[in-house]
Amino acid sequence: MLRRLAVRLLAGAVVVGLLAACTPAGAEHPEPAAAKDVGVQLFHWTWDAIAAECPALAEAGYGWVLTSPPQEHVLGEQWWTVYQPVSYRVESRLGTREQLAAMTAACAEVGVDVVADAVVNHMTGQDEPGVGWAGSRYAHYDYPGLWSDAEGHFHHCGLTADDDISRYDDVVEVRSCELVNLADLATETEPVRARLREYLADLVDLGIAGVRIDAAKHMAPPDVEAIVADLPAQALVLSEVIRGPQEPIRPEEYLGAGDVLEFAWGRDVKGIVQGGALRLATELGSHEGSATYLPSDAAWIFVDNHDTERGRQTLSYADGQDYVLANVLMLASHYGRPIVYSGYAFSDRDAGPEQDGSGAVLPATCPEDAGPARAWADGEWVCQHAWPEIAGVVGWRAAVGPAGEDAQVQVDGRVVAFSRGERGWLVVNGNAEDVTSTFETGLLPGAYCDVVAGRLADGACTGQVVEVADGGHATVTVPARSAVAVHVGARQDG
């Protein structure tokens, strides 16, 4: 039997409460919560491919998609060309303006929001003049009809030899010098802010529901606030502020602009999963955890993103089952809200996605056997969002909703169970061996289908059926380094 652990919840209340011990006869099973708080970053997916994927995303329980940057960019095969804007024309290797609008419409039809990556801190980093994807001419500090040095649109910080950022302990340098030679916009000036607001307004007109603010750390918080000021009140704003323990700039400074990405979670969960003491993952972001994190209600967490999977600061698809475990812990987390990452396989850090002769990205397709055990060739779409184990727990999260008053955690060595009242229950096993045990699930009696290894199809469960007895007890085998998850939306007995 699992030891019950006190868990400090988002509101700060300590819950040690007993799980419902007995159930009134004939009690109705609760409805799934149908929460839509899980995002998925579809890195370098084209607009057409995202539009085609949205019904499957909705079906799995994803609420929104984060795209790669949609504006005109420099030419080149590397993935990072899209982080060098040439203009704010919505024309890129990922699709046209019309295709982007068609994507947001197709996704909206199935209830999936689309959030765009907004590169607003800088322009290109090329010293030589060139032509962008949509044909716009540019030079390093001259973007005809848009920005120019003559009008004071750029910073030339004069603080380092080449005007590049060198010290992250100097706030002025980080915000006014150049990030890897990228022409740094004078975002403290009104004309620059106004034109950036116009760009975001255009994205909203095209059906975009929110923005990731790329390189937010490299702009002062009032600049970011001014740039997002005209977005609709309900728009999602995700400031990208990489937490550096020794750095003076804190992610918390950006809460005035909206939500913020919490990078510490993914970095911390890597060590926890590799070490096996999964219990520690339940403490991340709580007052029991050692690290200071953003407030839960404004924080978005992720196991990896396109930068961290390349930098290896976090786990990635290449970590197979450990990666699955980290994603399960994220989706079950009481802290923050989760973003699943989905990219393509690579061995060269700079390698772009598969593209045609013109440089247009080829539409992503997911292999039938996408999952942690598969070997990936460079360029293949890894489709982490569709790995059965991850997609199943996304469905669990959507059915149980974010952790509320009834959320509890139980720990027994390297086995950790998450309860969401009568709506769902999930258990992870950090051991190298299977564990069979009788658990107190808190669920109403019935037969529930494990959505990690199985699915409920036409009333039959393709995986383990968890029989919950009176009092909520169930004897369950939790596979080594894996999980079992059940919820009221997947009951075998209807």
Angle at Cα 55 formed by Cα 52 and Cα 59, nearest 5°? 150
Nearest approach in angstroms of CB 455 to ligand LM2 is 34
For Ca ion, which is the closer residue by CB, 142 or 164? 164
Q: Give me the amino acid identity at 168.
A: Y
* Cβ neighbours of residue 244 closer than 8 Å, sequence gap 6 or more: 168
202 touches, from Ca ion, ligand LM2, none (C-beta below 5 to 8 Å by class):
none
126 touches, from Ca ion, ligand LM2, none (C-beta below 5 to 8 Å by class):
ligand LM2
Structure tokens at 122: 């800088």
For ligand LM2, which is the closer residue by CB, 180 or 480? 180
Contacting positions for ligand LM2 (CB under 6 A): 80, 83-84, 119, 125-126, 179-182, 214-215, 240, 307
For ligand LM2, which is the closer residue by CB, 77 or 405? 77
Cα dihedral across residues 455, 459, 461, 467: positive or negative: positive
Are 49 and 100 in contact, with CB atoms under 8 Å apart?
A: no
Nearest approach in angstroms of CB 145 to Ca ion is 22
Site string for Ca ion, 103-122 (x = CB under 5 A): ------------------x-
Nearest approach in angstroms of CB 350 to Ca ion is 23
Nearest approach in angstroms of CB 43 to ligand LM2 is 10
d(CA 237, CA 257): 7
Shortest-Cβ-distance residue relative to Ca ion: 218
53 binds Ca ion (CB under 5 A): no
For ligand LM2, which is the closer residue by CB, 182 or 451? 182
Cα dihedral across residues 160, 162, 167, 168: positive or negative: positive
Nearest approach in angstroms of CB 175 to Ca ion is 5
184 touches, from ligand LM2, Ca ion, none (C-beta below 5 to 8 Å by class):
Ca ion
Which of 218, 385, 397, 423 contacts Ca ion by CB under 5 A? Answer: 218
For Ca ion, which is the closer residue by CB, 175 or 334? 175
Nearest approach in angstroms of CB 123 to Ca ion is 11
Nearest approach in angstroms of CB 360 to ligand LM2 is 18
d(CA 486, CA 494): 13
Q: b/e for 126-157, b at 16 or more Cβ within 10 A?
A: beeebebbbebebbbbbbeebbeeeeebbbeb
* Cβ neighbours of residue 47 closer than 8 Å, sequence gap 6 or more: 67, 70, 94, 95, 96, 99, 100, 102, 103
d(CA 274, CA 326): 10
d(CA 250, CA 238): 15
For Ca ion, which is the closer residue by CB, 192 or 427? 192
Shortest-Cβ-distance residue relative to ligand LM2: 125
From residue 165, alpha-carbon distances to 80, 153, 313, 470 in Å are 19, 18, 21, 63
Nearest approach in angstroms of CB 184 to ligand LM2 is 11
Chain centre distance of CA 59: 18
Q: With CB under 5 A as the contact rule, which of the stretches 59-67, 140-148, 213-221, 258-266 interacts with Ca ion?
A: 213-221
184 binds Ca ion (CB under 5 A): yes
d(CA 125, CA 147): 14
Q: Is 417 left (phi over 0), alpha (psi -120 to 50) or beta?
A: beta
130 touches, from Ca ion, ligand LM2, none (C-beta below 5 to 8 Å by class):
none
Angle at Cα 412 formed by Cα 402 and Cα 373, nearest 5°? 70
d(CA 47, CA 170): 39
410 touches, from ligand LM2, Ca ion, none (C-beta below 5 to 8 Å by class):
none
193 binds Ca ion (CB under 5 A): no
For ligand LM2, which is the closer residue by CB, 172 or 180? 180
Pairing status of strand 299-302 against strand 337-342: parallel
Total site size for Ca ion, rule CB under 5 A: 4
80 touches, from ligand LM2, Ca ion, none (C-beta below 5 to 8 Å by class):
ligand LM2
Where in the sequence numbering do the catalytic residues fall? 214, 240
Site string for Ca ion, 352-391 (x = CB under 5 A): ----------------------------------------
For ligand LM2, which is the closer residue by CB, 118 or 427? 118
Site string for Ca ion, 140-179 (x = CB under 5 A): -----------------------------------x----
391 touches, from ligand LM2, Ca ion, none (C-beta below 5 to 8 Å by class):
none
Are 179 and 218 in contact, with CB atoms under 8 Å apart?
A: yes
Q: What is the dihedral of CA 271, 276, 278, 284, to 10 degrees?
A: -20
73 binds Ca ion (CB under 5 A): no
Burial class of 12 by CB neighbour count within 10 A (0 to 12, 13 to 18, 19+) = exposed
125 touches, from ligand LM2, Ca ion, none (C-beta below 5 to 8 Å by class):
ligand LM2
* Cβ neighbours of residue 364 closer than 8 Å, sequence gap 6 or more: 42, 44, 45, 46, 49, 53, 344, 353, 381, 383
104 touches, from ligand LM2, Ca ion, none (C-beta below 5 to 8 Å by class):
none
For ligand LM2, which is the closer residue by CB, 33 or 186? 186
* Interacting residues with Ca ion (CB under 5 A): 121, 175, 184, 218
